[in-house]
Amino acid sequence: MTPPAARPAPLRVPRRLRPGDAVAVIAPCGPVDPDRLARGIRVLEGLGLKVVTGRGVLRRRGYLAGTDDERAADLTWAWCDPDVRAVLCARGGYGATRLLDRLDWAALAAAEPKILLGSSDVTALHRAFAERLGVATCFGPMPACATLSDPEGPEPRSLAALRAALFEGAAPAPVTGTGALAPGRARGPLTGGNLALLAALCGTPYAMRAEGRIVLLEDVREQPYRIDRMLTQLLQAGCLDGAAGVALGSWVECGDALPVLAERLAPLGVPVIAGLPIGHGTPQLTVWFGAEATIDAESCSLIPLFRDPVAAP
């Protein structure tokens, strides 16, 4: 009999933020609305952070925020600058996958690890930083998106969860969903992200490997048949083999997505919970990819087992 695979180790968690830390806002994906960005930056400054921006944060080249080389250069600058403690992606859209073969991974690996925050298209960077750098990253709201940049102010629950995820001395709280699609309880490092990006990464060096991990899946404006197609791709590519459990985030404007999600995921024989406010929509809570977590179908909750790195004596 083949022994069960060992649970994968969590990834390295970079030092979390302290008031007064400098954070860099960059645009690795689509072009950024300047008014939204300005409001989002004010929110970050209200958290006690010093905000610097990449040279190309307001560039526009069609559906991209500048050329691939320009966007890669901003990301490399932000990650390698020793004075910057976190790299915050301004928004998603499209374009992150185009950067993965243009980044100087040796330079990024030589830099001190720091926080990377983003969601949606930034899923590609989460996967690449996990595979190439072994660093845990934050999946949550971005400064130029509606959750943080609404003219009426940031959504309170989302802002509180972001603060708890980013800052030292705070413990990320459990995230509760709306129901379970398959029973059970499981523990493992959290992985996943936006379903369309995970499907697009199949067959690349950055394809998701679910073995022993809890997989978070979410998406926006995808019809059920497209969700079915992308899940089938992940299943047939082996990306979901050995998953410990599945946590389903938001499925905004995705029609009646739950039946196809249940049909395709329940045969994995692992706990599946649904309705977590993670991904798109409001509220939009923040989770750490690569950090240990538990999902419990009875309480329909994702429970972070988060530990800050121990400081050297």
Same domain, 37 and 158: yes
310 pLDDT more than 60:
no
Same domain, 156 and 228: no
Beta carbons of 109 and 129 less than 8 angstroms apart: no
Identify residue 100 by its one-letter amino acid code. Answer: L
Same domain, 150 and 224: no
Instruction: Output DSSP code: residue 135.
Output: B
Phi, psi of 30, deg, nearest 5: -85, 165
Percent of the chain with pLDDT over 90: 94
- 280 catalytic residue (yes or no): yes
Distance CA 80, CA 6 (A): 33
- Please report which confidence band the pLDDT of residue 5 belongs to, taking 50, 70 and 90 as the band edges: low
Q: How far is CA 73 from CA 63, 108, 238, 247, 280, in A?
A: 18, 11, 33, 34, 27
Nearest CA-CA partner of 113 in 128, 100, 129: 129
Catalytic residue among 155, 218, 222, 292: 218
Sequence-ordered list of residues with C-beta below 8 angstroms from that of 82, at least 6 positions apart, any chain: 111, 112
Token pair listed for 24 = 């860099």
How many domains does the chain contain in total? 2
308 pLDDT more than 90:
no
64 pLDDT more than 50:
yes
Q: How far is CA 308 from CA 57, 82, 166, in A?
A: 30, 20, 11
- Please report which confidence band the pLDDT of residue 312 belongs to, taking 50, 70 and 90 as the band edges: very low
Sheet containing 137-139, strands listed edge to edge, beginning at the edge strand earlier in sequence: 50-53, 22-26, 84-89, 115-117, 137-139, 287-289
CB atoms within 10 A of CB 6: 8
Whether 309 is in a domain gets the answer: no
Residue 306 is predicted with a pLDDT of 84
Residue 48 is predicted with a pLDDT of 98
CATH number, domain containing residue 151: 3.40.50.10740
Whether 45 is in a domain gets the answer: yes
78 pLDDT more than 80:
yes
**87-138 pLDDT per residue, tens:** 999 999 999 999 999 999 999 999 999 999 999 999 999 999 999 999 999 9
Catalytic residue among 155, 250, 280, 292: 280
What are 185's strand-pairing partners? 296
Same domain, 203 and 115: no
- Please report which confidence band the pLDDT of residue 7 belongs to, taking 50, 70 and 90 as the band edges: confident
CB atoms within 10 A of CB 83: 9
Whether 197 is in a domain gets the answer: yes
What range defines the domain where residue 81 resides?
Answer: 22-166
Q: How far is CA 173 from the centre of its chain?
A: 16
Same domain, 76 and 186: no
What's the mean pLDDT in 79-86? 98
What's the mean pLDDT in 37-41? 98
- Comparing 226 with 313, which gets the higher pLDDT? 226
Same domain, 230 and 263: yes
- 218 catalytic residue (yes or no): yes
Whether 313 is in a domain gets the answer: no
Percent of the chain with pLDDT over 70: 97
What 3-state class would DSSP assign to 141? coil
- 119 catalytic residue (yes or no): no
**241-278 pLDDT per residue, tens:** 999 999 999 999 999 999 999 999 999 999 999 999 99
- Please report which confidence band the pLDDT of residue 2 belongs to, taking 50, 70 and 90 as the band edges: very low
Distance CA 89, CA 57 (A): 9
Catalytic residue among 120, 149, 250, 301: 120
**Residue where a domain stops, chosen among 131, 166, 201:** 166
Whether 311 is in a domain gets the answer: no
Same domain, 159 and 68: yes
Distance CA 286, CA 284 (A): 7
Whether 148 is in a domain gets the answer: yes
Beta carbons of 117 and 86 less than 8 angstroms apart: yes
What's the mean pLDDT in 39-46? 98
Token pair listed for 158 = 């989302």
Token pair listed for 1 = 């009999």
Q: Helix H segments across 61-175?
A: 68-80, 105-110, 123-133, 146-149, 156-166
Across the chain, what does the average pLDDT equal? Answer: 95
